């Protein structure tokens, strides 16, 4: 459904950042793109939405190509993006109006707006906050409002670009849960992050370093290369470090243990 075909891109006056990058995302997939700060994650996101156009190669979404001006409208309808900081985007005075505003912008049928907005708010657990002021919400609630606004427009692909990175652990967990539920409902999810623990719910992980994809696989596969991950300036999760330390000390622990419950279980059995 989404294809990067030998895509290269560089910002004006700079060396090429993205060099002949190719990957595909299937319909309904949950993909994580993991990379340290400055590795090119947001650039990739902007190339997907057509905000940036490749200097070489092409990005296609279904039958549309971002390079074609006449396709951009359709692409933006298919792809929704949630940024790090929802707050910058709020313009109305209630959560409900915020969702309605987005629908008005795409000329959604007026008679269906209310039910559509309510359904979207319900999906992210924000319906009870409909009359609240967006600016007074917690970080996680703000992000969920932003997600509802996008969701109401019924995209096929949702990109979360570091959407959890400003949140406290609880807010982070809630957003991850929303992503999981949307994936279960059939949406294609692309989760961009620099937090390794967050990629555990993904089906597949791409690791980005200096604008290039340097590793690809399931979370379990990727976590098995902790030496490499450190080279890419990624913080290896505690569970993986503990697992490796314990294996070195002679504990019989399988090398695909990636969460704390599995680790505890293995230690007890060992
Ligand atoms: N608008 C821009 N103009 C020039 N350089 C940029 C611009 N946006 C990003 N860059 C540079 O491109 C590199 C990758 O940035 P970005 O894609 O934002 O990385 P990430 O999202 O992984 O932190 C960085 O070195 C950054 O300085
Ligand atoms: Mg970024």
What residue segments make up the domains of the chain, in order of their start? 2-218
Contact 187, 120 (CB under 8 A): no
Assign a CATH topology to domain 2-218: Rossmann fold (3.40.50)
For ligand 1, what atom is nearest to the CA of residue 39?
22
pLDDT in tens, 230-244: 899 998 888 888 998
pLDDT in tens, 241-268: 899 899 999 998 887 888 889 899 988 8
Pairing of strands 56-61, 64-65: antiparallel
Work out the percent of the chain whose per-residue pLDDT is above 70.
100
pLDDT of 225 above 90: no
Q: Whose alpha carbon is nearest atom 18 of ligand 1?
A: 42
Q: For residue 70, how many other CB atoms are within 10 A of its CB?
A: 8
Ligand that comes closest to the CA of residue 39: 1
Please give the average per-residue pLDDT across 196-206, as a whole number.
90
Residue 210 CA: which ligand is closest? 1
Q: What is the pLDDT of residues 166-191, one digit of tens each?
A: 889 899 999 999 999 999 999 999 99
**Each residue's pLDDT tens digit, 62-99:** 999 999 999 999 999 999 999 988 777 889 999 999 99
Measured CA to CA, the distance from residue 68 to residue 99 in angstroms comes to 29
Rg for the chain, CA atoms, rounded? 20
Measured by CA distance, the residue closest to atom 3 of ligand 1 is 11
Across 210-223, average pLDDT: 93
The pLDDT tens digits for 122-172 are: 999 999 999 999 999 999 999 999 999 999 999 999 999 999 988 898 999
Beta-sheet strand order (sheet of 2-9): 18-25, 2-9, 56-61, 64-65
CA 121 – ligand 2 centroid, Å = 26
Residues enclosing ligand 1, CB less than 6 A? 11, 14, 17, 35, 37-43
């Amino acid at each position: 459904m989404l294809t990067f075909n030998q895509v290269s891109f560089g910002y004006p006056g700079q060396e090429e950042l993205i060099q002949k990058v190719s990957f595909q995302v299937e319909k309904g997939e949950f993909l994580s793109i993991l990379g340290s700060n400055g590795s090119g994650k947001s650039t990739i996101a902007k190339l997907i939405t057509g905000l940036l156009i490749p200097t070489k190669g092409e990005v296609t979404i279904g039958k549309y190509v971002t390079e074609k001006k006449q396709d951009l409208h359709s692409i933006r309808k298919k792809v929704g993006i949630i940024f790090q900081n929802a707050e910058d985007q709020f313009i109305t005075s209630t959560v409900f109006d915020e969702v309605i505003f987005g629908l008005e912008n795409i000329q959604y049928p007026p008679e269906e707006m209310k039910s559509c907005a309510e359904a979207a708010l319900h999906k992210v657990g924000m319906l009870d906050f409909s009359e609240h002021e967006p600016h007074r919400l917690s970080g996680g609630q703000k992000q969920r409002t932003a997600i509802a606004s996008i969701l109401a427009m019924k995209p096929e692909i949702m990109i979360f670009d570091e959407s959890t990175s400003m949140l406290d652990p609880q807010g982070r967990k809630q957003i991850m849960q929303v992503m999981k539920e949307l994936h279960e409902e059939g949406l294609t999810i692309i989760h961009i992050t620099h937090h390794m623990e967050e990629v555990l719910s993904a089906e597949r992980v791409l690791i980005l370093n200096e604008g290039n994809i340097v590793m690809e696989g399931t979370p379990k596969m990727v976590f098995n290369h902790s030496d490499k991950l450190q080279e890419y300036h990624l913080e290896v999760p505690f569970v993986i470090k503990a697992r490796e330390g314990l294996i070195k000390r002679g504990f019989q622990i399988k090398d695909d243990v990636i969460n704390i419950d599995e680790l505890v279980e293995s230690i007890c059995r060992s």
